[in-house]
Chain A
Amino acid sequence: MPKHKIMTPDQSSGRELTFEILKYNPRDPNSRPHLETYKIRETPGMTLFVALNMIREDLDPDLAFDFVCRAGICGSCGMMVNGKPLLACRTRTADYPDGRIRLMPMPAFELIKDLSVITGQWMDRMSKRVESWVHAKEKQDITRIEKPVDPDAADATFELDRCIECGICVASCATALMRPDFVGAVGLNRIARFEADPQDERTDADFYELVGDDAGIFGCMSLLACEDHCPKNLPLQEKIAYMRRKLSKA
């Protein structure tokens, strides 16, 4: 029986970590974008959530960043970590052996301040564009037994419904950086999600109306950084290819 189990694989020795963080408040005329350096001691199992709060509480009360659930569920804390878009709350400092971590806000979204960006409005536009809701003509009576759904189809829909709109696929997408109106892997996955949903009555022609253009399904250059970085491991590559084949015939 294990009397002592290691809580995390990295009971680090409290080494010094060096953070370089972009500081900029676009609404403050005196503010200029610059990298600020902070040094802190690593604690066991430290994540960027813990580290950034420590920096704010002890070193720089003005540092802005976003966290909500701190458990990789809500999608609030996407940021560029040494050049890669990651969920900060799930990123362990122990995974950076040289102890140097550079943090930048995600591109493609409007900057609020420092590491904080506006993803909500972007996602809202996407949701409206792809009409991110079930389209069904018949209204169901909620006092009656629900319509049966094939269990496998329900599972398949759930699989794609797991997207948390964190924006990491957008921040890693070359098309999105060149075309601000590109719907992104998040939007194309949403289309695939409703296509898979047996309750949604939309046809391929309906979906073509929504995303059958270069700002939609035909804008993707298949660089696939979206799938490389998706924190939910969604099958973005497969679903984009699948939808593109379907819609080119629509």
Chain B
Amino acid sequence: MKINYCDALIVGGGLAGLRVAVQTQEKGLSTVVLSLVPVKRSHSAAAQGGMQASLANTVMGKGDNEDVHFADTVKGSDWGCDQEVARMFVTTAPKAIRELANWGVPWSRVRQGPREVVINAQRTTIVEPSEAHGLINARDFGGTKKWRTCYTADATGHTMLYGVANEAIRREVEIHERKELLRLIVENRRCYGAVVRDLITGEIEAYLAKATCIATGGWGRVYRTTTNAVICEGTGQAAVLETGIAALGNPEAVQFHPTPIVPSGILLTEGCRGDGGVLRDVDGYRFMPDYEPEKKDLASRDVVSRRMMEHIRKGKGVPSPFGDHLWLDISILGREHIEKNLRDVQEIAMTFNGIDPADEGPKGWLPVRPAQHYSMGGIRTKPTGESPDLSGLFSCGEAACWDLHGFNRLGGNSVAETVVSGMIVGSYMAEFCRENDIDVSTRLVEESIEKEVRYIREILERPESEGMSIFDIKRRMQHIMDEKVGIFRDGTHLQEAVDELQELLKRSRKVGVRYKCLKANPELEETYRVPKMLKIALSIAYSALMRTESRGAHYREDYTMRDDLNWLKRTLVRWSDPEATLPELSYEALEIMKMEMPPAFRGYGRKGQIIENPLSAKRQEEVEAIRRRLEAEGKDRFAIQEALMPFDLPENYRAKNERLGVGYA
């Protein structure tokens, strides 16, 4: 029995996991990171466009601060997020980006003087002030009031990941590659670590830790058409679900990005539109201003994706062997801009489609269609990142439902969340490790390992099955998710999806493998992963079926209203019976009377589609009264915010952020 001991165990070596690891290591805790792949290959590297932080350095970001970033995030979430978490996030984001600058992330910097940009398809000259020269630059992104998205060309995730990974190497964090989480070691509502399989030797071992953090990213690969990397299969979240104790939050909240390229589904960053690119239809017509007069091509992602599909349904799509699509036109930005700031986009378009997007006119237009991109839902945590149900279990980044994004995440808020939540959750986790020892029996550890050893052996001993292979089952699952749990949802199709996925789950538990080796064996790995993926797919489909309203990215054609009266609540999913084919759902309310920003219209999307909750108006009056009173008393925005909705932060993350021209105001 191989047992590894550490204080802090982190599963997942992307930006979130590594940032947590740096934090716990810095606090003197022995820290181990487990990763499926070399950590610098994590899907964080694929984030292109940028990271939101309200620095307000560029002239187009002037007036930006935590309050504006907070309001954008809450509206973007369609009031589904935890507003306290959003406050924690916007307060820490400027510190996170400045820390990354110190760690060597070569952020694009402001250049003083006039600069030509494209705004609303018009060439416009902006003038950057000399005092901003050399400070971190920002570009425009969807659903934001200010230019707030800081970037390194369109390889922002890559430079951030290398910055944080190099910092982890510098601090000598132990990183164990090609290790896969199979099961959490749990007893009496306490998590003691994990049972892990070595993907090279096939050995099954235990990692025992005072605290375990799941930072395994998103679960996009339960869909066929997704921008996600092939390792984003949700098996980390499934291991949490399989404890039967901890819950997933809002799995039905799935983001579809407007502009993955057709047919490969590889992402083309929102920065394309942020920098001035536009969407066009079969006639070359720029259609978004007709639907969204205010934000146009830069409404939030859920809205733009739906408008695109709506337009395709009207017959305005471009027919292709891979289905109808629309065009993304960035040629209007000019070759120089593209080759400097959108070079990965150009490289992807040229490699995978043979199109140079800098070519003028229709020749350079890129075929795009919305596809699965991000999971707002995930492992439900408290604002500290700890599971409310399972002591010693933490989660952060896309794997978690912390819940910063509610029912729609803003572009640029995901890489920002990874590092910010890494800082915050890492601190709380370190505190937990200092205050809690583990007292674990070897019997429990042995049993936990033994269960997985037996399970793997049982898979290998299964008779060769007739009919569907494990690969067929996976493909079928992905097809069902694309077709029936996509952008437009309704009760009939969701019910069909739930029924079919349950059948697939049963089948997946019996399927045999052809090659019987215990070591590096792709078919064996697929065979124990797919049932986990099916549990995630079922959690998404079933939660979507039960949520009879439309909110953010969850759109029901049979319930088109956002229902604040009945559905201002978070879905919680648990899977307590391992033999069951459906999870149990429950709900936790979002309390309007505690919100800093009570529910209202987002400012984009369809108007008049809200079933109002009377508490929203009541809280709004209360908020305004408090604001008026404190303003009359001469209180600043920080004191007013504190009175409206207090929140906690560890370290000095609570400290005010300095900005150009306004200091700490």
Binding site for B on A (CB under 8 A): 1-10, 25, 27-28, 44-45, 47, 56-58, 61-64, 66-76, 90, 92, 112-113, 116, 118-121, 123-124, 127-128, 131-134, 136, 139-140, 142-151, 154-155, 157-158, 161-162, 164-165, 194, 197, 199-200
B347–A133 CB distance below 8 A:
no
Stretch binding the partner chain, chosen from B381-389, B549-557, B564-572, B654-662: B654-662
Q: Which residue of B lies closest to A200 (CB)?
A: B104
Q: Which of B38, B284, B320, B523 contacts A7 (CB 8 A)?
A: B320
Range class of the B interface residue count? 35 or more
B170–A133 CB distance below 8 A:
yes
A140–B109 CB distance below 8 A:
no
- Report the minimal beta-carbon distance from B154 to chain A, rounded to whole angstroms: 10
- What 9 pairs across the A-B complex have the smallest Cβ distances? A148-B134, A120-B38, A61-B523, A9-B354, A157-B106, A151-B109, A62-B515, A134-B104, A158-B106
Beyond A61-B471, A62-B521, A92-B351, 20 additional pairs, beta carbon < 8 A: A1-B282, A7-B263, A45-B353, A61-B526, A69-B43, A75-B41, A90-B352, A133-B103, A134-B103, A136-B102, A142-B96, A145-B658, A145-B660, A146-B135, A147-B101, A151-B108, A151-B137, A155-B106, A155-B108, A158-B153
A70–B229 CB distance below 8 A:
yes
When distances are taken between beta carbons in the complex, the residues of chain B under 8 Å from A144 are 98, 658
Q: Which residue of B lies closest to A44 (CB)?
A: B321
Q: List 14 A-B contacts (CB under 8 A).
A: A4-B320, A61-B514, A69-B43, A74-B45, A74-B229, A76-B37, A90-B352, A120-B37, A120-B38, A127-B169, A132-B166, A146-B98, A161-B158, A164-B158
When distances are taken between beta carbons in the complex, the residues of chain B under 8 Å from A140 are 98, 101-102
B101–A132 CB distance below 8 A:
no
Q: Which of A9, A146, A161 contacts B162 (CB 8 A)?
A: A161
A145–B659 CB distance below 8 A:
yes
Check B440 for interface membership: any CB of A closer than 8 A: no
Whole-angstrom CA separation of A116 from B318 in the bound complex: 40
Q: Which residue of B lies closest to A122 (CB)?
A: B38
Restricting to B326-377, which residues have a CB under 8 Å from any CB of A?
340, 344, 347-348, 351-355, 362, 365, 367
When distances are taken between beta carbons in the complex, the residues of chain A under 8 Å from B106 are 154-155, 157-158, 161, 197
When distances are taken between beta carbons in the complex, the residues of chain B under 8 Å from A142 are 95-96, 98-99, 102
Contact with A along B161-177 (1 / 0, CB 8 A): 01000110110000101
B152–A158 CB distance below 8 A:
yes
B155–A1 CB distance below 8 A:
no
- Report the minimal beta-carbon distance from B220 to chain A, rounded to whole angstroms: 12
Decide: A68 near B109, CB < 8 A? Known: A142-B98, A161-B152, A161-B162: no
Whole-angstrom CA separation of A123 from B161 in the bound complex: 15
Restricting to B17-49, which residues have a CB under 8 Å from any CB of A?
37-43, 45-46
Check B230 for interface membership: any CB of A closer than 8 A: yes
B660–A148 CB distance below 8 A:
no
Check B267 for interface membership: any CB of A closer than 8 A: yes
B659–A68 CB distance below 8 A:
no
- Report the minimal beta-carbon distance from A57 to chain B, rounded to whole angstroms: 4
Whole-angstrom CA separation of A136 from B103 in the bound complex: 9
Q: Which residue of B lies closest to A27 (CB)?
A: B519
Whole-angstrom CA separation of A132 from B165 in the bound complex: 10
When distances are taken between beta carbons in the complex, the residues of chain A under 8 Å from B267 are 71
B522–A63 CB distance below 8 A:
yes
